[in-house]
Copies of this chain bind each other. A is one copy, B any other.
Amino acid sequence: MSVGDTEKSTSDRGRLDKRRAIVEAALRVFARVGYAQASLDMIAAEAGVAKPTIYNHLGSKENLFRHVMTETAARANGKTMEVLESFPGEADGLRPGLEDVAGKLVACYTDEQSQAVRRLLYAEAVRFPDLFDQVRASGPDQFIEALAGRLARLANAGHLRIEDPVRAANQFIALVYEELPTLSTFGSRPLDSRDAEKVAVAGVDTFLRAFGSSSGS
C-alpha cells in the first residue's frame, strides 16, 4: 500500500532468472541452518521470491535440495578438475609445481560453496544416500582417477617412485588436505588461508619424501 515500506515491492517481478535466484538462495539457507531447519519461507524470502514460485520451478523441498546439491557439486568439481591442467609433467620444477597444484586444490576444497555442499552431503548422507553416491561418483572418484593418471605419467618418466598410482593419489590428497576438515570445524568456521597453505606445502614435502626420486627433492 504505502510507498517506501519494503525495498523491492514492485520492481523485479517478471520471470527473469528466478530459478537461479532460488537455487542460489537455497544453497545459502541450507548451508546456514541445515536441511531440516531450512523452511521454504526462509528460502523464498532469501531469494526475493514467493513461495509458490519455488514449487512452480522445482516441485518439492527434497527436489530443490537435490538440484542445489548436484548443480553446486558439479560446478565445484569442474573447478577442481581444471586445477589438474597445471599439473607438472616434467621433473623440472616438480616440487614447486606440486606445491602450486596442492595450493590450488586446497583453495577449491576450502571454497565456501564447496565446503557447504560437502558438509550438507555428509550431514544428510543418512536421508539421501543415493545423492551422496551420485555426487561422489561424478566428482571425487573421477578426480582421483585423473590425478592417478598424472602421477603414473610422472612415475613412468622416472620422476617419482610409485607402485600403485590410485593409492598414491589418495594419499596425496590425504596429505594435502590433512586436518583441514577439523581445522575449519568441517566447514562451519572460517579457515586461515596461511594455515591451509602451510598444510599443503608440508603435505607435498612428505609426499616427495616418500615418492620422490633423487631429482625431485
Contacts and interface: CB of A to CB of B under 8 A. Distances in A.
A210 to B, nearest CB: 4
A52 interface: no
A129 B175 contact: no
Interface residues of A, number: 41
Interface in A113-135: 119, 122-127, 129, 132-133
A201 to B, nearest CB: 11
Interface in A157-190: 164, 167, 170-171, 174-175, 177-179, 182, 185-189
A25 B191 CA distance: 36
A87 interface: no
A179 B148 CA distance: 14
Contacts of A170: 178-179
Count identical subunits in the complex. 2
A36 interface: yes
B34 A126 contact: yes
A140 B123 CA distance: 20
Contacts of A36: 34-37
A171 B182 contact: no
A24 to B, nearest CB: 19
A125 B210 contact: no
A206 interface: yes
